[in-house]
A and B are shown apart, each in its own frame.
Chain A
Amino acid sequence: DAEITQSPRHKITETGRQVTLACHQTWNHNNMFWYRQDLGHGLRLIHYSYGVQDTNKGEVSDGYSVSRSNTEDLPLTLESAASSQTSVYFCASSAARGRAYEQYFGPGTRLTVT
């Protein structure tokens, strides 16, 4: 069955370190997304990609970057981790643009920045 996997599932890092969260999907979807989920804020969009070599900023992109070198993967990098980036991160994917396609989510990565 097609799925989205994220790794690691839990990560503790120190302020100032660079961290990369992995996302891999086997849906063969063109669109991929990264969200963060915090109490009181719900899910907020960080970055998204419509295909290989395409990346776009979302609502809360400061301090994060992504790159898309193939269809299956969209890693999220925190350039210099800050305590404000402690959160649960979800990756999602959906089929091509053109109509309202549902997004399918991974299991999440819980990141703690100390």
Chain B
Amino acid sequence: EDQVTQSPEALRLQEGESSSLNCSYTVSGLRGLFWYRQDPGKGPEFLFTLYSAGEEKEKERLKATLTKKESFLHITAPKPEDSATYLCAVQADQAGTALIFGKGTTLSVSS
């Protein structure tokens, strides 16, 4: 069964304290892995797509990496405005275009 597990469930950081969020996945064949940001009361906002092991994408303080079993979202020198829930999702070869989501990591950054 295709599955996505995110850890930790919640993460509290001080402003400037870098850290990483983990997304472990089990799929029959990976077509793509996606990272989203979700603010309270809003829909998920697309951040990155990763297609193959070794690939990396960056956007401001965020950097996403991918291996054959997991993805990491590295947050460098976070600011309070980076506080949000970060969702990981995979698209498997046999799932058409449907995404399988993890439950998310809620990040809180305090000043």
Hey, which bits of chain A sit against chain B, CB under 8 A?
4, 31, 33, 35, 40-45, 48, 50, 56, 58, 90, 92, 94, 97, 99-108
Contacts and interface: CB of A to CB of B under 8 A. Distances in A.
B49 A58 contact: no
Contacts, number: 61
A97 B96 contact: yes
A46 to B, nearest CB: 11
Given A41-B103, A48-B98, A90-B43, 17 more contacts: A33-B99, A42-B103, A43-B44, A43-B89, A44-B101, A48-B97, A50-B97, A90-B44, A94-B97, A103-B34, A103-B46, A103-B97, A105-B36, A105-B45, A107-B42, A108-B41, A108-B43
A63 B60 CA distance: 42
B97 A31 contact: yes
Nearest to A39: B103
